[in-house]
């Protein structure tokens, strides 16, 4: 987990060269199977400015992820957007993502989800087109950890599907 945060820090530093116009358009999604709890824990990290611009355009509403007075509405649209642009299938069956909330860290917004009742993972497929409509250069990095085995992949817009076998 620390190496993921380190990579996110590198992306943050690189993005600050142009502050308002960063050179990288990236999402980082991490999934970790917790076998003892029979859950899959998911975090989706996006640049706040890109995400807010996309949400404003998509939902035609005021978007301010930092405004505590708007927290309930922001939770609703963050969950709705990610559920429409990110999905998980385990063993060929699409699973439900339970939204747990989001938080802001530096220039990033991290959304948290959970999948329940997952005793084992042999095959998993992800569809991730987060912010693809925002920028043609958008890419998604996906990291998954199952039984101590870590696998990663990069999705470049318009490619949105990746599968892993364990």
pLDDT tens column, 25-79: 899 999 999 999 999 999 999 999 999 999 999 999 999 999 999 999 999 999 9
Find the distance separating the first CA and the last CA of the chain, reported in whole Å: 19
Q: Could you give the CA distance from residue 91 to residue 74 in angstroms, rounded to a whole number? A: 32
Q: Is the pLDDT of residue 16 over 70?
A: no
**Which pLDDT does position 24 carry in this prediction?**
78
Residue pair 54/47 in contact (Cβ under 8 Å)? The answer is: no
> Which is nearest to 94 in space by CA: 161, 157, 145?
161
Q: Is the pLDDT of residue 93 over 50?
A: yes
For 96-118, the pLDDT digits (tens) are: 999 999 999 988 999 999 999 99
Residue 155 resides in a domain:
yes
Residue 9 resides in a domain:
no
Domain containing 50 equals 28-165
**Which pLDDT does position 6 carry in this prediction?**
45
Residue 8 resides in a domain:
no
**Which pLDDT does position 114 carry in this prediction?**
98
Q: How many domains does the chain have?
A: 1
Q: Supply the mean pLDDT for the chain.
A: 90
């Amino acid at each position: 987990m620390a190496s993921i945060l380190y990579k996110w820090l590198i992306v943050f530093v690189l993005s600050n060269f142009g502050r308002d116009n960063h050179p990288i358009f990236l999402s980082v999604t991490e999934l970790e199977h917790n076998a003892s709890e029979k859950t899959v824990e998911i975090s989706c990290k996006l640049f706040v400015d890109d995400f807010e611009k996309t949400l404003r355009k998509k939902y035609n509403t005021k978007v301010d992820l930092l405004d505590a007075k708007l927290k309930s509405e922001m939770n609703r649209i963050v969950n709705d957007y990610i559920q429409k642009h990110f999905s998980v299938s385990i063993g060929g069956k699409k699973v439900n993502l339970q939204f747990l909330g989001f938080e802001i860290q530096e220039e990033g917004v991290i959304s948290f989800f959970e999948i329940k009742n997952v005793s084992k993972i042999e095959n998993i497929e992800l569809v991730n087109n987060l912010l693809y409509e925002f920028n043609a250069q958008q890419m998604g990095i996906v990291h998954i950890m199952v039984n101590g085995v870590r696998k990663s992949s990069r999705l470049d817009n318009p490619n949105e599907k990746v599968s892993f076998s364990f």
